Amino acid sequence: MSSASIPSPFCPLLILHFLALYLGRDSTHSPPAVNHRPLPTCGNPPSVPFPTEAPVSRPLKMTLEAQSAAIAARFDYTDEQVNSAVNEFRRQMTEGLEKDGTSLSQIPTYVTGVPNGTEKGLYMAVDLGGTNFRVCSIQLNGDTTFNLTFSKVAIPRDLMVAKTAQELFAFLAKQIELFLQTHHEDHFEQHVRRRMTMSSPDGYKDEHVFRLGFTFSFPVQQVGINKGTLIRWTKGFDIPDAIGKDVCALLQDEIDKLHLPVKVAALVNDTVGTLMARSYSSPGKTGTVLGAIFGTGTNGAYVEKLSNLKKPLSGEYDKTTGEMVINTEWGSFDNQLSVLPNTEWDVALDKASPNPGIQMYEKRVSGMFLGEILRLVTIDLLKDPKVSFFKDENSSSNDWKSTTNIVSDSSIYTQWGLDTAIMSVAAADNTPELSTLRGELEKQLGIYSAGLDDAQAFKAIANAIGRRSARLSAVAIAAIVLQTGKLTDPANADEPVDIGVDGSLVEHYPYFRDMIYEALSAIDGIGEEGAKRIRIGIAKDGSGVGAALIALVAAGMEKRLTTADYLGELRSNAKSNNLTVVPEDEAARD
Ligand code: BGC
């Protein structure tokens, strides 16, 4: 049939052509633009090719639903992309084990074993990692259980960007003092008394000082179990004066100024703490292989074979286990963006962040940033005159028969003004009217009487950002599981591959772990069967308990004396120095 043939009235191509012309009309009902090309005809085979260009028409006015679906699709991260990211992650892991200064830092921690649950003792831990500073004391009971007492204080924003490191660390030491006075008054008083009853220069015996594990959740170049210099700040902290300094010494100096009976015994990243805590609480035949945080920031620490660690180590460590815990600092995976997704909103977020070009993986995964991505998308939609998002022409277009209003000082207009927590509300709200989410939009962002369509659009975009984060999280988990070889190791055949996680995202974002599992089962070398063997469990308070466990290991490296030894030694010292010794129980009494 030639191009001049009469088209059949049911020819699907022709119907599509008219439909396109019809849809091309905008709401002012102007006539469709005329297309002077000959009408396409159906037939086989055409003697001349069909036109491949779309007919000229006016731009479509997309509905909010279609617009939000299109934006959500921009956050898709396909199985294929996930797989190539896993390969790249593994490549960058190897690179980081071989040399310094790589994207994935792969920092050796000098921790050469994981606990088995039998450890005992009373330790202290402090945790500086994001929004809060936590001080805790942990009684390890030696039977995989522990008792934890803690206090938590929000870190004032001005201290996160203080002029000197000393300002921040003085604040931290003060919190330790308050904690001791509140929760360990006896111990605290006893030590003050000891200092007063002995006139030796030290004042009291080192062995009776609390060993403190310092969880410091920023990239640190560790050179020993209680020594490490800050490489860079992340998560909104920015105190340039601290870069390159030993953070343990900074804290110890301020503790000493307050004469507290506390020794910073171990420096721990929160991921290492999580790994330790999980290993302590749920020891399996092979122990936990990965500790990961999906919270304000994200990172993971895993157990690596010493033989794979090729870059030189400066500090002392125990070589007998043949393993060492590595802090990957995976927040900086693929800073060069060879496999990470990069929407215009990711670009905008990075540009306006305090650390452009770094922590690129973290900026797509962790809690601090997801809300900001959603905020940037929301602002773009609000500015788009073609889209009716959080605006009503009049009350008839709003299902609550009101008009949507955004207060002029809404935090939606400010950087970091959208708390990621609202994404959890969006994901969890399955009520027909999305009334919980709409209530939250009002409470948190001053968006009054949002319509159902607005809330649905907001939810669809938020869910897409959350889902992308979970799928990206699966990339890091999968790469490390594959690296450990545990899934194929015959010695581990019937054992689960245990992973400890902590952080607000993995704990509170609905279905986060399910979405990780879904992605894991699509990864080569894991698949559905492998995914079933990967056990991802929450290690609550991991960083505190883990830091205490490492402080225990560190204390074991020092000379340890029992109370009897202590008193004996004290008496003999006193005799030789002609001092008066008040017995311990007496000192405690008065
Ligand atoms: C830091 C890591 C930390 C992670 C989770 C990241 O920003 O660089 O050291 O482990 O946040 O707190």
State which of 1-10, 54-63, 499-508, 571-580 shows the largest mean pLDDT.
499-508
- Report pLDDT for 196: 52
Regarding the beta carbon of 331 and ligand 1, being less than 6 Å apart is answered: yes
| pLDDT band at residue 185 under the 50/70/90 scheme | confident
- Report pLDDT for 385: 87
The CA distance from 536 to 566, in Å, is: 44
Can you tell me the mean pLDDT for 24-42? Answer: 38
Regarding the beta carbon of 536 and ligand 1, being less than 6 Å apart is answered: no
Regarding the beta carbon of 543 and ligand 1, being less than 6 Å apart is answered: no
Q: Which atom of ligand 1 is nearest to the CA of 270?
A: 10
- Report pLDDT for 470: 98
The CA distance from 420 to 508, in Å, is: 11
Question: How would you classify the pairing of strands 497-502 and 405-406?
Answer: unpaired
| pLDDT band at residue 19 under the 50/70/90 scheme | very low
Q: Which atom of ligand 1 is nearest to the CA of 216?
A: 9
Say if residues 234 and 156 touch (Cβ distance below 8 Å).
Answer: no
User: Given ligand 1 and candidates 293, 359, 370, 541, which is best to mutate, with the most ligand atoms within 8 Å of its CB?
Assistant: 293
- Report pLDDT for 566: 36
Q: Which atom of ligand 1 is nearest to the CA of 218?
A: 9
Ligand 1: centre distance to CA 233 (Å): 9
The CA distance from 190 to 270, in Å, is: 31
User: Given ligand 1 and candidates 329, 332, 368, which is best to mutate, with the most ligand atoms within 8 Å of its CB?
Assistant: 329
| pLDDT band at residue 52 under the 50/70/90 scheme | low
- Report pLDDT for 405: 87
Judge whether residue 428 has pLDDT over 70: yes
Can you tell me the mean pLDDT for 370-391? Answer: 94
Ligand 1: centre distance to CA 129 (Å): 7
The CA distance from 430 to 445, in Å, is: 20
- Report pLDDT for 193: 62
The CA distance from 362 to 350, in Å, is: 11
Q: Which atom of ligand 1 is nearest to the CA of 297?
A: 11
Tens of pLDDT, residue by residue over 353-362, are 989 999 999 9
Judge whether residue 352 has pLDDT over 90: yes
| pLDDT band at residue 40 under the 50/70/90 scheme | very low
The CA distance from 569 to 561, in Å, is: 9
Can you tell me the mean pLDDT for 528-557? Answer: 86
State which of 100-114, 502-516, 542-556 shows the largest mean pLDDT.
502-516
Tens of pLDDT, residue by residue over 190-210, are 665 665 554 444 445 555 688
Can you tell me the mean pLDDT for 67-77? Answer: 97
- Report pLDDT for 112: 84
Regarding the beta carbon of 299 and ligand 1, being less than 6 Å apart is answered: yes
- Report pLDDT for 289: 93
Three-class HEC string of 322-385: CEEEEECCHHHCCCCCCCCCCCHHHHHHHHHCCCCCCCCCHHHHCHHHHHHHHHHHHHHHHHCC
| Catalytic choice (270, 419, 498, 502) | 270
- Report pLDDT for 51: 57
Judge whether residue 64 has pLDDT over 80: yes
Judge whether residue 343 has pLDDT over 90: yes
Regarding the beta carbon of 129 and ligand 1, being less than 6 Å apart is answered: yes
467 a catalytic residue: no
Regarding the beta carbon of 329 and ligand 1, being less than 6 Å apart is answered: yes
Judge whether residue 28 has pLDDT over 50: no
Can you tell me the mean pLDDT for 299-312? Answer: 95
Regarding the beta carbon of 369 and ligand 1, being less than 6 Å apart is answered: no
Closest CA to 146 of 136, 158, 154, 138: 138
Backbone dihedral angles phi then psi of residue 337, each to the nearest 5 degrees: 60, 40
| Catalytic choice (105, 217, 279, 504) | 217
| Strand runs labelled E in 407-506 | 447-448, 497-502
- Report pLDDT for 7: 36
Regarding the beta carbon of 378 and ligand 1, being less than 6 Å apart is answered: no
Ligand 1: centre distance to CA 442 (Å): 32
Regarding the beta carbon of 297 and ligand 1, being less than 6 Å apart is answered: yes
217 a catalytic residue: yes
- Report pLDDT for 567: 35
Q: Closest Cα to atom 1, ligand 1: which residue?
A: 218
Which parts of 184-226 fold into alpha helices (H)?
185-197
User: Looking at this protein, which amino acid is placed at residue 526?
Assistant: I
Can you tell me the mean pLDDT for 494-509? Answer: 93
Judge whether residue 558 has pLDDT over 80: no
Ligand 1: centre distance to CA 499 (Å): 17
Q: What is the DSSP string of 203-229?
A: -S-GGGSEEEEEEE-S-EEEEETTEEE
Judge whether residue 284 has pLDDT over 80: no
408 a catalytic residue: no
Tens of pLDDT, residue by residue over 246-277, are 999 999 999 999 999 999 999 999 999 999 98
Q: How far apart are the first and last CA of the chain?
A: 111
Tens of pLDDT, residue by residue over 562-580, are 333 433 343 343 333 333 2
Tens of pLDDT, residue by residue over 438-492, are 999 999 999 998 999 999 999 999 999 999 999 999 999 999 999 999 999 998 8
Judge whether residue 1 has pLDDT over 70: no
Ligand 1: centre distance to CA 123 (Å): 23
| pLDDT band at residue 392 under the 50/70/90 scheme | confident
Judge whether residue 366 has pLDDT over 60: yes
The CA distance from 223 to 92, in Å, is: 22
Average pLDDT over the chain, rounded to an integer = 83
Percent of the chain with pLDDT over 70: 79
Tens of pLDDT, residue by residue over 78-115, are 999 999 999 999 999 999 999 999 999 999 998 887 78
Question: Can you tell me which residue has the tokens 């770094």?
Answer: 358
Tens of pLDDT, residue by residue over 130-184, are 889 999 999 888 888 888 899 999 999 999 999 999 999 999 999 999 999 999 8
Regarding the beta carbon of 269 and ligand 1, being less than 6 Å apart is answered: yes
User: Given ligand 1 and candidates 299, 353, 363, 370, which is best to mutate, with the most ligand atoms within 8 Å of its CB?
Assistant: 299
Q: Closest Cα to atom 8, ligand 1: which residue?
A: 218
Three-class HEC string of 97-130: HHCCCCCCCCEECCCCCCCCCCCEEEEEEEEECC
Can you tell me the mean pLDDT for 289-299? Answer: 95
